[in-house]
Chain A
Amino acid sequence: MDSTLPRVAADTALYAEVLDWIHTEAELLDDLREREWLETMVSRDVTYAVPLRQTVERARGRGFSPDTFHLLETYGSLDSRVTRNETPYAWAEDPPSRIRHFVTNVRVRQSGDPDIVAVKSNLLLHRTRQDQSLPQLLSAERHDELRREDGRLMLLRRDVLLDLTVIRTHNLAIFF
């Protein structure tokens, strides 16, 4: 997100709307209401990416690859994932792991397009499976763009910038 874009203050209606959107999304994903999330919160034009990260020297930046990913999704492929999880053979997440999205540090900026807001947030994803007592934790910064479509904010773009190079979880059959 371009940090020169005008910041939307926390005491505005727009900020409150974005925050409410984030909380609603987290609830749907935590409750495994993935179909509802896809159909009511995700734009048909969505790009959803989790770029690959490498350890590099400070001078070379943060190490995110511009063209290699852990996930690179469109609406069609997200729909494919949701559909897969609805089959009785999606062993990876059946029984499902228990997931909690903790979203903080929400920063909202206006974009050049009046219908689009740019949102940065920090994500801590807490996950356990079966009788695991120690959680898997995935920490990331999310860079989102939300577009107003027929009056509702919809997810147009999400980049999930993980704080990891080697991912220690049994699969990524989850939504960030």
Chain B
Amino acid sequence: MTSHTDSSAKLLDAVTEGAEKGVIPASIFGDPDLYRQELRNVFGRCWVFLAHESEIPAKGDYVLRKIGEDNFIVVRDDEGEINVLFDACRHRGVQVCRSDSGNTSHFRCPYHGWTYNTKGNLVGAPLWRNAFGGMSKENNGLASAAKVASYQGLVFGTLDQSAPPLKEYLGGMAWYLDLVFGLNEHGVEVLGPPQRFVIDANWKSGAENFSGDDYHLGTLHRSVWEIGAFPVPFHENMMGYHIQASPGHSLSFSMAQDANEPGPNYFGFPDELAQSFNTTNISADQLEVARRSRVFVGNVFPNFSMLALPMTEDGSNHPPVGILTLRTWQPHGPGQVEVWNWFAGYKNLTPEQKDRAYRAGLGTFSMGGAFEVDDTEPWITVSRNGASTAAELLDFQLNYEMGKPGVGISKPVKEWPGPGRVQWTRYEEGVQRNMYGFYAEMMRSAPGQWPSLVFPEDAAADKEHRA
């Protein structure tokens, strides 16, 4: 037992040290003790994405979702509030939600009939007076997530009462979520329920990839250029910014150096839609960054990823159009991940435009999509090698050095309107180093303690600003 704990602690030390230097031990992708610690210290504490508000628009609408490996009912109650309820009856711990989604006024346990309303309050059980007369219904409701909050229509929950408010947790990332989801007053909605698929890979492979791994496109996804699915050539697509928005959260923009290059702009969203974009909810700087962006990809630590870019599933008949996909990498053991994949679009797209964006997204970024079918291929072996005895005995370290000072052409950017640590050109893996640095701190933090959610230089600047 002690030796296991020691090995996890040693791995975490190596991650902290390596996140600076750009070396990460391969075993973090397969170590079972580390995984159990992740469920508790990462998924049991961080704000995790659960649903989009548009999935449960009406009172009584619910979806069944996961925090870590555990099921939670995300339900809109009679007052329109969203509750996140642990799917376990207070009486014997039985699952009370029997469908993946639906609309209901109550959840009734199939075992003895304890019945709860959409706030999770116990409202009754069969022959109540005989069985439980005199017992309080209060404190016998379903357990709730410690905190629930939404940002830009994205619903998050945390099991940790000591978690900072969602906005504070998102930190610099909020600025970038704004310019993807808040480009007009209509906002975004999901285009149907999520796809779910299980692959033999570690959840961190997906999260680090969406933190800004653009370099893999040239090799792994080379086929998509051959079929004309994506309009920006590989080399050109490597131009842009890598941004560590705040500790843990990273993102990447494909952007030309010339602000007036012909496009695609706004992630390839249709021109008619782009005409509705404005500064009602965002700043002129945010709008301009969105305008210049050909691709946005990002990850909210730990496991919520987003991607917006121009795509087509059928290059000979349809030009690429901006798609938006949201996904979570649900942990399912050290060597397994359940991928949840939603497509989304601006509410004021026409039905035809929504259909086009949906088809383009499905045909490229889904488990049968031209882009994504290849992604699972490397991740499977990352996790297999991560679980290997060889990786442990050889102290096998993986290289995350791209874009460090003196490595490649990527350079820090001083002039940038948004928050975070910014690099020009996407030949850079600081975005991953940021994820792993925060990961190690989160894993090590004692209950009630939180690692810093701002970079030291931002904290200093903030202090100066206030003084």
A: residues with CB less than 8 A from B are 50, 52, 54-57, 60, 63, 65, 67-74, 76-77, 79-81, 83-84, 87, 89-93, 165-173
Give every chain B residue within 8 A of A89 (Cβ-Cβ).
219-223, 226
A-B pairs with beta carbons under 8 Å apart, 19 shown = A54-B99, A54-B193, A56-B102, A65-B193, A70-B366, A72-B359, A74-B314, A80-B370, A84-B227, A89-B219, A89-B222, A90-B223, A165-B196, A166-B338, A167-B196, A170-B200, A170-B376, A171-B372, A171-B373
Chain B interface, number of residues (Cβ within 8 angstroms): 44
Q: How far is the CA of A72 from the CA of B366 in the complex (A)?
A: 11
Q: What is the chain A residue whose CB lies nearest that of B369? A: A172
Q: Tell me, rounded to whole Å, the shortest Cβ–Cβ distance linking A62 to chain B.
A: 13
Q: How far is the CA of A65 from the CA of B376 in the complex (A)?
A: 25
Q: Tell me, rounded to whole Å, the shortest Cβ–Cβ distance linking B424 to chain A.
A: 28
Are the CB atoms of B222 and A87 closer together than 8 Å?
Answer: yes
Name the one of B200, B362, B378 contacting A72, with C-beta atoms under 8 angstroms.
B362
Are the CB atoms of B370 and A81 closer together than 8 Å?
Answer: yes
List 10 tightest A-B contacts by C-beta distance, closest first.
A172-B368, A68-B192, A76-B314, A92-B373, A89-B222, A171-B373, A54-B100, A173-B373, A167-B197, A89-B223
**Mostly helix, strand, loop or mixed at chain A's interface?**
mixed
Known: A63-B100, A90-B223, A92-B373. 8 other contacts (CB 8 A): A54-B101, A54-B193, A69-B362, A77-B313, A77-B314, A84-B227, A171-B372, A171-B376
Q: How far is the CA of A77 from the CA of B199 in the complex (A)?
A: 24
Asked if B377 lies at the interface with its beta carbon under 8 angstroms from chain A, I say yes
Given that A55-B99, A57-B99, A170-B376 are known contacts, is A70 also in contact with B367, CB under 8 Å in the complex? Answer: yes
Q: How far is the CA of A67 from the CA of B374 in the complex (A)?
A: 25
Give every chain A residue within 8 A of B100 (Cβ-Cβ).
54-56, 63, 165
Give every chain B residue within 8 A of A50 (Cβ-Cβ).
368
Given that A56-B100, A173-B368 are known contacts, is A90 also in contact with B374, CB under 8 Å in the complex? Answer: yes
Q: How far is the CA of A70 from the CA of B373 in the complex (A)?
A: 12
Asked if B363 lies at the interface with its beta carbon under 8 angstroms from chain A, I say yes
Q: What is the chain B residue whose CB lies nearest that of A85? A: B223
Q: How far is the CA of A91 from the CA of B227 in the complex (A)?
A: 15
Give every chain B residue within 8 A of A83 (Cβ-Cβ).
226-227
Q: What is the chain A residue whose CB lies nearest that of B379? A: A170
Q: Tell me, rounded to whole Å, the shortest Cβ–Cβ distance linking B194 to chain A.
A: 8
Give every chain A residue within 8 A of B227 (Cβ-Cβ).
80, 83-84, 87
Q: Tell me, rounded to whole Å, the shortest Cβ–Cβ distance linking A3 to chain B.
A: 27
Q: How far is the CA of A167 from the CA of B198 in the complex (A)?
A: 6
Are the CB atoms of B373 and A68 closer together than 8 Å?
Answer: no
Asked if B315 lies at the interface with its beta carbon under 8 angstroms from chain A, I say yes
Q: What is the chain A residue whose CB lies nearest that of B366? A: A70
Are the CB atoms of B229 and A80 closer together than 8 Å?
Answer: yes
Q: How far is the CA of A52 from the CA of B224 in the complex (A)?
A: 25
Question: Among residues 79 to 117 in chain B, which have CB atoms less than 8 Å away from a CB atom of chain A?
Answer: 98-102
Give every chain A residue within 8 A of B229 (Cβ-Cβ).
80
Q: What is the chain B residue whose CB lies nearest that of A173? A: B373
Name the one of A63, A69, A92 contacting B376, with C-beta atoms under 8 angstroms.
A92
Asked if B290 lies at the interface with its beta carbon under 8 angstroms from chain A, I say no
Question: Among residues 325 to 372 in chain B, which have CB atoms less than 8 Å away from a CB atom of chain A?
Answer: 338, 359, 362-363, 366-368, 370, 372
Are the CB atoms of A91 and B362 closer together than 8 Å?
Answer: no
Give every chain A residue within 8 A of B200 (Cβ-Cβ).
170
> Among the interface residues A57, A77, A90, A93, which one has the most CB atoms of the partner chain B within 10 A?
A77
Are the CB atoms of B380 and A170 closer together than 8 Å?
Answer: yes
Are the CB atoms of A80 and B367 closer together than 8 Å?
Answer: no
Given that A57-B98, A70-B366 are known contacts, is A76 also in contact with B223, CB under 8 Å in the complex? Answer: no
> Among the interface residues B99, B223, B315, B363, which one has the most CB atoms of the partner chain A within 10 A?
B223
Name the one of B99, B314, B362 contacting A56, with C-beta atoms under 8 angstroms.
B99
Name the one of B102, B318, B362, B374 contacting A92, with C-beta atoms under 8 angstroms.
B374
Name the one of A81, A92, A168 contacting B377, with C-beta atoms under 8 angstroms.
A92
Q: What is the chain B residue whose CB lies nearest that of A74? A: B314
Give every chain B residue within 8 A of A168 (Cβ-Cβ).
197-198
Q: Tell me, rounded to whole Å, the shortest Cβ–Cβ distance linking B413 to chain A.
A: 32
Q: How far is the CA of A72 from the CA of B314 in the complex (A)?
A: 12
